[in-house]
Amino acid sequence: MTAPLSKDLIRDLFDYADGKLFWRKSRGTRGVAGAVAGCAPIKSHAYHRVVINRRVMYRHRLVWVWHNGAIPDGLVVDHINGDTTDDRIENLRLATHRQNACNRKVHTNNKSGYKGVDYVPQFGGFRAVIYVDGKQRHLGIFDSPEKAHQAYIAASEEYYGDYSRSS
């Protein structure tokens, strides 16, 4: 594994403004001084990528290091608002992998439209569940997805705290 890039090196390569990195010096055909560094995400849920010395890096991680220095082992950079293209420093924070997972948006294949809620025909209602420490906790069966979602929100705030996301 390659060593992480230092804050000094990143500051030498880039200027920062409003969530974007700009090349400080021209770097061949890949980067022109003053131009926005990197390329846009391929998918709406992907990350901006920047190539440095043939190494693909995620912009949000570079922004974090530009402001704060190295990312400690075992931690990741989390997008507080869930928008993976919003790399403003005020939208970034350190998180464990588990905390980062708690902050995920509702899955695109979710049929109820609510995070933590699914319809269970054999129970004739909407089930609310949450995962805590890798184990599923059953929160109850409800007659509407909205009521099940309210149970999920309460549990999410209790177990996940600042990393809770209801949608």
**What per-residue confidence (pLDDT) applies to 36?**
93
Q: What is the mean pLDDT of the chain?
A: 91
pLDDT of residue 119: 92
Q: Which of 10-24, 37-51, 145-159 has the least mean pLDDT?
A: 37-51
How many residues belong to the chain?
167
Tokens 């693909």 found at = 56
pLDDT at 41: 85
1 falls in which pLDDT band (50, 70, 90)?
Answer: low
Q: How far apart are CA 108 and CA 5, in angstroms?
A: 34
* Sequence-distant (≥ 6) Cβ neighbours of residue 54 within 8 angstroms: none
Question: What type of residue is 7?
Answer: K
Instruction: Give the CB-side neighbour count of residue 37, counting CA atoms within 13 A.
Output: 30
60-114 pLDDT tens trace: 999 999 999 999 999 999 999 989 999 999 999 999 998 998 888 888 888 888 9
Taking residues 133-140, report their average pLDDT. Answer: 92
The Cβ of residue 91 has, within 10 Å, a number of other Cβ atoms equal to: 16
> How high is the pLDDT of residue 166?
76
Cα separation, 132 vs 33, in Å, equals 47
**Residue 116 CB-density burial (10 A; 0-12 exposed, 13-18 middle, 19+ buried):** buried
From CA 125, how far away is CA 54, in angstroms rounded?
53
DSSP state of 54: T
pTM of the model: 0.84
